[in-house]
Chains A and B, each alone.
Chain A
């Protein structure tokens, strides 16, 4: 019987999943307080003009280095598809449309109601605040980067270039501003108010009303209302969301389902390691027995 290290780990993980018995009942996960008054942002992509002032404001608000705002008028960058990264926690992408003007879509952390990153994090460095933001604590992070794998929107970025105390970077919903009753920096600067900051419940109503009033302008879908169990950031669009850079087939179940069951399964009650040691022990015991028998037979010519 040959057991590689890898297959052993896989076996252990599988065992963990079986023990945990599905994601929903996972024990030990951080308690998710979802306040009825949690805030959100409604992004109307039919209004966005792709001026990228939000990108500039975001950097300013987070003390990141940036070129002057005038340079953001250059629309060349819109030519290629970008993701939020170490330099920009939010980016605007442009997609072709059937109308004379293209569609511009701002991308940042969605601040999921049931964040995959929060459940994937084994040290609890991520948390969903009562006000809606999903934030990250540098003191707790051990740099495992599970959050990056878990996030269905591929949002968290990692400071690969920093050997000492690398950070995970992502939109933090401007918690330092919203704590002082200020709007997030991107919302405040948008010259056309493509972004609306408000109670998530109210934003859903506003979005519904817009779709009702302008059925030709919007597709009948509020992205983020149900996706991965709901997100704090909501989107309206005039074109199928799959065609404007949103991930396909996410489903409406919270994304943590899988990652959570593996994570929490493995670590629940220290069971899998105990079982693993038992297994290893029994293999050793069996091999010793075989060795014994072999040497015994050797001794009898």
Chain B
């Protein structure tokens, strides 16, 4: 009875609290995703295409379609055979799915036609119809490197269906060449702070999880595909002569602006980054699967964390630490304690101390739970 009263009193309150226009955690406006006033689980009334920057989920190349044949406008044009996968592979090296599918919900990637209405013109003023959306998307890159685009570069001439079929087979098998990345690049400099900068390219991309575009900004397809080759014949990156100090440091400074010169400059080639050497913290097996970002924040600059375990693993942050990874699953009696209660001084390399509470128990003969797994 009491409980139901509490629920009755509380329910409207919680409803009110929940129904604020902005979700407090994400800063997103509810109306960006839901069209109705009170979305429910059974009727979430999700809008098709939220025109706000949403959380962008990266999908793998293989989760998209391989080939798409655009023949919606059959009466007027021959079908366009579009290798989605080939383009997705290119996007994967650059801006990701959102280079074409500009906005995304957490669900599957939306096809162009789910927002852009077929035919030309659209209900929403200024939003291109499907035809224009296709054209804009294709031409924006193709014009950059082809410098001209004839209709036939995409549209099969009518009556030329055999050609289209042949192309289809070829395209299906075609894969985009992987761009091979250097392990390291050594820059020779004239700086008196050290004549060399050893840059570990693969560590930055793989270990530190930087996307290509963070440094190679605006170097789209045209960088490799330009038929006039104007872009590629530019000075290669490793030659820094003739650039201002600011230009030389631009790519590095987006993260390393406040670092000492000696962090990068040296008179000899430096070794790759090693967590134990550079930070004094050895990454043992429990942390080795984590990405840098899971401890050091999501910003460009990694945030220094205290070596104290409690920084990340406090009991207030429920579920942030699963004790069973240590080989012991805590029983209910011990689950609520602070780490320090057993591991005095938060020293986890020492044997846990049972004597704080128990006179007759000691590690390892008495365990506060069951062996796991």
Per-position 1/0 for A26-60, Cβ under 8 A of B = 00000000000000001000010100000000000
Residues A196 and B125 in contact, CB atoms below 8 Å apart: yes
B328 on the A face (CB < 8 A):
no
- How many contacts between A and B, using CB within 8 angstroms? 52
B135 at the interface (CB under 8 A from A): yes
Nearest-CB residue, chain A, relative to B126? A206
A49-B139, A191-B132 in contact; A198/B226 too (CB < 8 A)?
no
User: B120, B125, B126, B143: which has the most chain A beta carbons within 10 Å?
Assistant: B126
Known: A75-B148, A183-B121, A193-B121. A49 touches B143 (CB 8 A): yes
B135, B150, B226 pick with most chain A CB within 10 angstroms: B135
Chain A residues, CB < 8 A from B136:
47, 192-193
Contact (Cβ within 8 A) B139 A192: yes
Of A191, A196, A203, A209, which contacts B135 at CB under 8 A? A191
Closest 4 CB pairs of A and B: A193-B132, A206-B126, A193-B128, A100-B144
The CA-CA distance from A24 to B230 in the complex, in Å, is 55
12 extra A-B contacts, CB within 8 A, seeds A100-B144, A206-B125, A210-B126: A73-B151, A100-B222, A101-B143, A101-B144, A191-B135, A192-B136, A193-B128, A193-B129, A193-B136, A198-B125, A198-B126, A203-B125
Chain A interface size band reads 20 to 34
Q: Which chain A residues border B330 with CB–CB below 8 Å?
A: none
> Could you list 8 A-B pairs, sorted by A, with CB under 8 Å?
A49-B139, A191-B131, A191-B132, A192-B132, A192-B139, A193-B131, A196-B126, A198-B126
Cβ contacts under 8 Å, A198 to chain B: 125-126
A191 to B121, CA, bound (A): 10
Q: Which A residue sits closest to B137, measured CB to CB?
A: A192
How far in angstroms is the closest Cβ of chain B from A68? 13
**A190 CB-CB contact with B under 8 Å:** yes
Which residues of the other chain, B, contact A202 by a CB distance below 8 angstroms?
A: 125
Which residues of A are found within 8 Å of B230, using beta-carbon distances? 100
Q: A165 CB to closest chain B CB, in angstroms?
A: 38
Kindly state the separation between the CA atoms of A100 and B227 in the bound complex, as whole angstroms. 12
A188–B126 CB distance below 8 A: no
Within 8 A of A (CB), among B133-159: 135-136, 139, 143-145, 147-151
Name the CB-closest residue of A to B149.
A49
A193 and B120 in contact, given A100-B222, A198-B125 (Cβ under 8 angstroms): yes
B126 & A42 in contact (Cβ 8 Å cutoff): yes
Distance A49 CA – B230 CA, assembled complex (angstroms) = 21
Across the interface, which residues of A come within 8 angstroms of B149, CB to CB? 49
Residues of chain A with a CB closer than 8 A to B226's CB = 100
Cα distance, A203 to B127, chains bound together (Å): 12
Closest to B230 in A: A100
Q: When chains A and B are docked, how far (Å) is the Cα of A49 from the Cα of B132? A: 11
**Chain B: minimal CB distance from A105 (Å):** 16
> How near does chain A come to B123, taking the closest CB pair, in angstroms?
12
Least Cβ–Cβ distance between A253 and chain B, in angstroms: 29
Q: Which residues, 191 to 215 on A, are CB-close (under 8 Å) to B?
A: 191-193, 196, 198, 202-203, 206, 209-210
In the complex, which residues of chain B have a beta carbon less than 8 angstroms from the beta carbon of A101? 143-144, 147
Q: How far does the Cβ of B88 sit from chain A's closest Cβ, in whole Å?
A: 23
- B132 contact set on A, CB distance < 8 A: 190-193
Instruction: Determine whether the beta carbon of A192 is less than 8 Å from that of B135.
Output: yes
The proximity string for B residues 200-230 relative to A, scoring 1 for CB distances below 8 Å and 0 otherwise, is: 0000000000000000000000100010001
Docked complex Cα distance between A203 and B124 (Å): 11
> Which residues in A have their C-beta under 8 angstroms from that of B131?
191, 193
The answer for the CA separation of A183 and B145 in the assembled complex, in Å, is 33
* Residues in chain A near residue B143, CB distance under 8 A: 49, 100-101
Contacts of A191 in B (CB 8 A): 120, 131-132, 135
Task: From the candidates B120, B125, B148, B222, name the one contacting A188 in the complex (CB within 8 A).
Answer: B120
Residues of B within 8 A of A42 (CB): 126
A100–B143 alpha-carbon span in the complex (Å): 8
Closest chain B CB from A51 CB (angstroms): 9
Q: How far is the CB of B141 from chain A (nearest CB, A)?
A: 10
Q: How far is the CB of B139 from chain A (nearest CB, A)?
A: 6
B148 / chain A contacts, CB cutoff of 8 Å = 75
Chain B residue contacts of A75, Cβ below 8 A: 148
A209 CB contacts on chain B under 8 angstroms: 126
Residue of A73, A183, A191, A203 with most partner-chain B CB within 10 A: A191
Known contacts A47-B136, A73-B151, A100-B226; A192 and B144 CB within 8 A of each other: no
A residues within 8 A CB of B147? 100-101
Q: How far is the CB of B351 from the nearest CB of chain A, in Å?
A: 60
Give the CA-CA distance A193 to B134 in the complex, in Å.
11
| CB of B103, distance to nearest CB on chain A (Å) | 12
Contacting B at CB under 8 A, from A96-135, are: 100-101
Which residues of A have CB within 8 Å of B121? Answer: 183, 188, 193
Q: How far is the CB of A42 from chain B (nearest CB, A)?
A: 7
User: Once the chains are docked, how many angstroms separate the CA of A102 from the CA of B129?
Assistant: 24
Give A190 to B132 CA distance when docked, in angstroms: 8
Against B, the Cβ 8 Å flags (1 = close, 0 = not) of A66-106 are 00000001010000000000000000000000001100000
Q: Which of B142-187 contact A (CB under 8 A)?
A: 143-145, 147-151
A183 CA / B129 CA spacing, docked (Å)? 14
Closest partner residue, chain B, to A198 (CB atom): B125
Q: How far is the CA of A267 from the CA of B121 in the complex (A)?
A: 48
B128 touches A192 (CB 8 A): yes
B254 to chain A, nearest CB (A): 17
Cα–Cα distance between A192 and B147 once the two chains are bound (Å): 17
> Of residues 15 to 41 in B, which have CB atoms within 8 Å of A's CB atoms?
none
CA gap between A188 and B131 in the complex, in Å? 12
Residues of A within 8 A of B222 (CB): 100
Q: How many angstroms between the C-alpha atoms of A75 and B139 in the bound complex?
A: 16
Chain A 238-251 interface mask (CB, 8 Å, partner B; 1/0): 00000000000000
Interface string of A241-279 (1 = CB under 8 A from B): 000000000000000000000000000000000000000
